[in-house]
Amino acid sequence: MNVVVLAAGKGKRMHSSLPKVLQALAGRPLLDHVLDATAGLADHPRVVVIGHAADIVRKPYEGRTDIVFALQQEQLGTGHALMQALAAINPEDPLTLVCLGDVPLLSPKTLMAMAEAGADGSLVLLTVELSDPTGYGRIVRNASGAVISIVEEKDASSEEKRICEVNTGIMCLPTAHLADWLSRLKNQNAQGEYYLTDVIGLAFNDGVSITTVHPEHVWEVEGINSKSQLARLERVWQRVQAERLLEGGVTIIDPDRFDLRGELICGQDVEIDVNVVFEGRVVIGSNVKIGANCVIKDAQIADGVQILPFCHIDGASVGTGSRVGPYSRLRPGAKLLGENHIGNFVEVKKSVVGLSSKVNHLTYIGDASIGERVNIGAGTITCNYDGVNKFRTEIGDDAFIGSGTELVAPVLVGAGATVGAGTTVTRSVPAGKLVVGRARQIVVEGWTRPVKKWEKTYVWHCGCGSSS
């Protein structure tokens, strides 16, 4: 099967400099969703017809071999757009599927049904019944029920406007007739465009059978022309994902406050609180609880983990039985090996935290290797960057790092060593030893705290400085 995706439109109603087909739904361009739905249907590259801001649309797909682009220099209608794809399709392939780049929720199941219906050489239309068909092309049938034409609303009579079966713009055409039909299209209509829908009348007159297929859900064929429509379909998509997870045994506290912008794989007895956002590929084990308002991206979370509210986990892995949060941030390369406690306002980046080690409060750990059973006190900083290069900090098993410590990398803290609170560590600490590096505390006699000008004025006007 040939697959052609029409994606040349500007999308004026989006009021955006970004082309319509690159607007994001579930964190990905609309065009991505259409390409996902059509993946595997064609044995050769699919054709994407682009026009408005063609270079911008093409750029995210540079290097892909499963698609080719055809340019519609002037936007003269859907029929004209398909004309531009003719040179790129395989004329020997019996079927040509035409999809729209702004209809992102099509299911592969529906497209396969269209392919099956067209296997006998029929022209296949994807249609739906709408209680309010305003704005859509109407499916016109004869007295015997056969489809004879599609009439656009602007060209429809008052009687035709009462028809509730509408065209979705998605069709499967017999390739052998395609070039001939497109060459016979006229632009004598209200818009002065070459309508692809006019091939229906040509097919009927040529004696080609026309059949219709209906999607399982109406929202599959809803197009996006405005930000409000985009927002509505975003919630439809998210609700579908939530229902899928619920059916698989995941507890989602409120499916209407759930966002998946990628792929989520869950084990048993996973609980997800409200306003959690998943991005990229996230794999979650069993018996995991994720608190409210977390953002989790490209992460692996093992069994028995508890993620407390307001955490941000990006490109990190969290080992079995760990507790993270609240207000923790795990950046790319953070690896918690298990039974770890990462507490409030702790940031871990490109570091390994060994089994049963704890970093509970107000701490930055970057470019570090931390052993097992290490305790890192509040306010600790690994000073890993000298303005040009990054350096590593290594902390051995059973070490204790006191609060307010600065570890100036590269530096090694040996196994079982203790670093006293407030120490700046610039040299390696021997295993099992205590190191303290603080300025000597002194009391300055005769010192008076400076007084601000307004305080002096206040004292004078209050009479506190009067001699009476």
Q: What pLDDT does residue 455 have?
A: 63
What's the pLDDT score for residue 460? 59
- Give the DSSP letter of residue 66: S
Q: What is the CATH number of domain 227-435?
A: 2.160.10.10
Q: Given this model, what pLDDT does residue 468 score?
A: 46
pLDDT at 190: 80
For residue 193, the tally of other CB atoms under 10 A from its CB is 18
| pLDDT for residue 464 | 57
pLDDT at 241: 97
* The two structure tokens encoding residue 283: 């794999």
Q: Are 49 and 85 in contact (CB under 8 A)?
A: yes
Using the structure block, give the residue that is written with the tokens 């059978």: 209
Domain boundaries, the chain: 2-221, 227-435
Tell me the whole-structure pTM to 2 decimals: 0.88
Q: If you search the block for the tokens 């890993």, which residue do you land on?
A: 384
Active site residue 44: no
Contact criterion met (CB below 8 Å) for 376 and 365: yes
CA distance 379 to 401: 10
Note the pLDDT tens digit of each residue in 327-349: 999 999 999 999 999 999 999 99
Cα–Cα distances in angstroms (integers) from residue 48 to residues 95, 98, 173, 206, 247, in the given order: 16, 10, 17, 28, 35
Contact yes or no for 165/74 (Cβ under 8 A): no
DSSP state, 407?
A: E
Q: Which residues of the chain have pLDDT under 50?
A: 467-468
What pLDDT, on the 0 to 100 scale, is given for residue 244? Answer: 97
E strand or H helix that includes residue 285: none
Per-residue confidence (pLDDT) for residue 111, from 0 to 100: 97
Question: What pLDDT does 343 receive?
Answer: 97
Among candidate residues 44, 217, 361, 461, the one labeled active-site is 361
Choose which CATH entry (3.90.550.10, 3.30.930.10, 3.40.50.20, 3.40.50.720) describes domain 2-221. 3.90.550.10
Give pLDDT, residue 465. 53
CA gap 284, 304 in Å, rounded: 10
CA distances from 373 to 340, 398, 401 (A): 9, 5, 11
The pLDDT value given to residue 439: 85
Q: Can you tell me the distance from the alpha carbon of 272 to that of 260, in angstroms, rounded to the nearest whole number? A: 12
| C-alpha to C-alpha distances, 313 to 263, 316, 355, nearest whole angstrom | 15, 6, 19
Residue pLDDT, tens place only, 74-97: 989 999 999 999 999 999 999 999
296 DSSP β-pair partners:
278, 313
pLDDT at 333: 98
Q: For residues 276 and 293, what is the distance between their CA atoms, to the nearest angstrom?
A: 5
Residue 370: exposure state from Cβ atoms within 10 A (0-12, 13-18, ≥19): buried
**pLDDT given for residue 135 in this prediction:** 86
* Residue in the block written with tokens 């400099």: 17
Is 152 within 8 Å of 79 (Cβ atoms)?
no
Question: Residue 71: what residue type?
Answer: L
* Per-residue confidence (pLDDT) for residue 459, from 0 to 100: 59
Q: Give the Cα separation of 74 and 213 in Å (integer).
A: 31
